Amino acid sequence: MDKNLMAILEKRAARTIENLAKNNMPGFYVKTREQAVEKVAELMKEGELVAVGGSMTLFETGIIEHLRSGRYSFLDRYIEGLSSAQKEEIYRKSFLADTYLTSTNAITEAGELYNVDGTGNRVAAMIYGPKSVIVVAGINKIVRDINEAVERVRRIAAPANCTRLDTGTPCIKTGYCVNCRSEGRICCSYTVLGYQRQKDRIKVIIVGEDLGY
Ligand code: SF4
């Protein structure tokens, strides 16, 4: 990325981290995806029970590979050939994890996390259950405010995810959300995580690269 543009984006990341801290969600900035894996390893202990929310970012950064290293007890929802019932069981067990790793659909400069889920397992675990939650997000996920977060999901994240998952929803054709009532709809639960009473449970790693949708 152009270094002048990066300098501006890093100021934006610093502002966001300052406000995340005010909301009791400590934030960390790392420049590269490799450093993101190192930070994750630093925030976790060997042998921990770990689970993840559905995320392209966790694959792109190599975090999924790190979790598969044998260092942790990983509830791996991505094992090939899992049946729906086995996945469902992993989702339920994930609430008991020591650490839950996920990305987020958007982070506002005011220090809020905005997410939209289809099944709801990811947002539910972010809100309650796992002892610790680590959110990893590319710098492209930072938005000015909740309105921009909503737009980001309607115009980028959700249609891109629908295209990836081949949901058969109308946004695949239009390229933007038309608030469908399709069977394949992935937008069912809308959440904003703001000030947290449980300090430091949610930690946010912002990576100075474009990651995920
Ligand atoms: S509500 Fe439907 S049309 Fe809108 S983004 Fe979600 S799946 Fe696509």
Fold of the domain spanning 3-142+190-207: Rossmann fold (3.40.50)
Read off the tokens for 1: 């990325």
What integer pLDDT is reported at residue 105 of this predicted model?
97
Q: What is the DSSP string of 132-177?
A: EEEEEEEGGGEESSHHHHHHHIIIIIHHHHHHHHT---THHHHSS-
pLDDT of residue 212: 95
pLDDT tens digit sequence for 143-157: 999 999 999 999 999
Rounded to whole angstroms, how far apart are CA atoms 38 and 60?
Answer: 14
Question: What's the rounded mean pLDDT across residues 76-82?
Answer: 96
Residue 210 pLDDT level (bands cut at 50, 70, 90): very high
Q: Is the pLDDT of residue 1 over 90?
A: no
Q: What is the average pLDDT across 10-31?
A: 98
Q: Which of 115, 176, 178 to mutate to test the pocket of ligand 1 (most atoms within 8 A of CB)?
A: 178
Q: How confident is the model at residue 20 (pLDDT cuts 50, 70, 90)?
A: very high
Chain centroid offset of residue 106 CA: 8
pLDDT digits (tens, 9 = 90+) for 103-142: 999 999 999 999 999 999 999 999 999 999 999 999 999 9
198 vs 24, 30, 132, CA distance in Å? 7, 24, 10
> pLDDT-based confidence at 79, cuts 50/70/90?
very high
> Average model confidence (pLDDT) for the chain?
97
Q: Going by CA atoms, what residue is nearest to atom 2 of ligand 1?
A: 180
Closest CA relative to residue 148, chosen from 187, 185, 186, 105:
105
**Mutation test residue for ligand 1: of 151, 186, 213, the one with most atoms within 8 Å of CB:** 186
Give the pLDDT of residue 42: 98
Q: Which residues' Cβ are closer than 6 Å to ligand 1?
A: 158-159, 162, 169-171, 177-180, 182, 185-187
Q: Over range 190-206, report the average pLDDT.
A: 98
Give percent of the chain above pLDDT 70.
100
Q: Look up residue 209 and give its two tokens.
A: 């690269």
| Beta-carbon contacts of residue 162 (< 8 Å; ≥ 6 apart) | 169, 171, 172, 184, 186
**Gap between the Cα atoms of 39 and 60, Å rounded:** 15
